[in-house]
Each structure stands twice: as structure tokens, then as C-alpha cells.
């Protein structure tokens, strides 16, 4: 390279035009935007602000997030820590919202009719016909769904302990 520069008429300290026909760019792929995902909108903004704690970077909240909510000797809880914990709890409680709505609809509108239908079939000495959906037979209080509830709670607790281990090792 140096020999090539010495043979040419390149003067040191003088800008020259250089043409690069091809070059590679080293990119951190974690910072690229995902395909077909647009990071705008009301729900995205609320999720980012609350559950990803992005509100702490806004000017009015910077000092507030660093301020102490509770302090006793060496033990200190800032508003940021408190809000992050609260957001995690809310996320765990609000994640199964569609299921909560399903329970509400079932017990409000379907449960009485289902009980009357089963009683009529039993009084008539008939067997329940197998309909197209198995979920027709599995009410929200069925063992399958109870196992799902338990699995959900266990998963939430494991996720919490796993996150604590990561924070300790970092």
C-alpha cells in the first residue's frame, strides 16, 4: 500500500478523491428495526412507556425517576424501581385479559343454558352428542383449564426467579 502511494502523485496532507466500488458495513443487528414492525401507535407507545420504562428518558420524568420513594439506612427504593416492579406485576395480571373476558361471558350468558341442557339430557336418559368443539365440554372450571391456570402461575414465578438470577450475575 505504501509503495503504491509513493509511486503515485499523492501528496500527504492533501485531500484526494477515492472511489470505493464495494464496501461492507458492520452492523449490530439488535439495533435494526424488525421487518413489518412499525414502532408507532397508541398501544406501542403506552407499552414502551409503562412496561419498558421508557418514560424515564423524558425530560419531566428524569429527576422524578431517580428520586427516593423510600429510604432507610442503606436500603433505598427509587420511583424507577417501584414503577418497574409495578409494571411487571401489572403485565402478569393483565396478560390473560382475553381469558378473563371469556370467563365473564361464559358465566354471564352460557353457564345457565349449558346446565339446563345437561339436565334435560339427563332427565331424558340420553347421552350428550359429540359436537364439533371439545371446548363445549370443557367449561372454564374443567381440570384442563385449572392445569393451565396453575401452569401460568408457575411460569410467572419461574420467569421472576430467572430474571433475578440474571440481575445477580450481571
Q: So what's the pLDDT on residue 134?
A: 67
Residue 153 belongs to some domain of the structure: no
Residue 170 has pLDDT above 60, yes or no: no
Measured between alpha carbons, how far is 140 from 106 in angstroms, rounded to an integer? Answer: 8
Residue 81 belongs to some domain of the structure: yes
Residue 55 belongs to some domain of the structure: yes
Q: So what's the pLDDT on residue 23?
A: 85
Residue 74 belongs to some domain of the structure: yes
Q: So what's the pLDDT on residue 140?
A: 78
Residue 19 belongs to some domain of the structure: no
Residue 85 belongs to some domain of the structure: yes
The grid coordinates listed for 165 are: 438470577
Closest CA to 83 of 121, 52, 46: 52
Residue 66 belongs to some domain of the structure: yes
Residue 148 has pLDDT above 60, yes or no: yes
Residue 162's alpha-carbon distances to 85, 93, 166, in angstroms, are 15, 18, 6
Residue 70 belongs to some domain of the structure: yes
Residue 1 has pLDDT above 70, yes or no: no
Which residue spans within 12-133 are E strands per DSSP?
68-72, 75-78
Is 49:55 a contact under the CB 8 Å cutoff? yes
Is 47:94 a contact under the CB 8 Å cutoff? no
Q: For the chain, what is the domain count?
A: 1
**Residues spanned by the domain of 87:** 40-94
Amino acid at each position: 500500500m505504501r509503495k503504491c502511494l509513493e509511486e503515485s502523485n499523492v501528496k500527504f496532507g492533501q485531500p484526494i478523491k477515492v472511489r470505493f466500488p464495494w464496501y461492507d458495513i458492520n452492523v449490530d443487528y439488535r439495533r435494526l428495526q424488525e421487518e413489518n414492525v412499525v414502532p408507532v401507535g397508541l398501544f406501542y407507545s403506552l407499552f414502551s412507556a409503562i412496561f419498558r420504562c421508557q418514560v424515564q428518558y423524558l425530560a419531566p420524568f428524569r429527576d422524578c425517576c431517580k428520586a427516593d420513594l423510600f429510604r432507610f439506612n442503606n436500603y433505598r427504593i427509587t420511583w424507577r424501581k417501584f414503577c418497574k416492579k409495578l409494571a411487571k406485576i401489572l403485565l402478569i395480571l393483565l396478560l390473560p385479559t382475553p381469558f378473563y373476558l371469556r370467563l365473564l361471558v361464559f358465566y354471564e350468558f352460557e353457564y345457565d343454558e349449558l346446565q339446563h341442557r345437561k339436565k334435560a339430557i339427563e332427565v331424558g336418559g340420553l347421552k350428550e352428542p359429540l359436537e364439533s368443539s371439545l371446548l363445549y365440554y370443557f367449561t372454564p372450571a374443567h381440570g384442563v383449564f385449572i392445569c393451565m391456570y396453575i401452569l401460568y402461575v408457575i411460569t410467572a414465578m419461574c420467569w421472576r426467579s430467572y430474571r433475578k438470577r440474571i440481575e445477580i450475575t450481571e
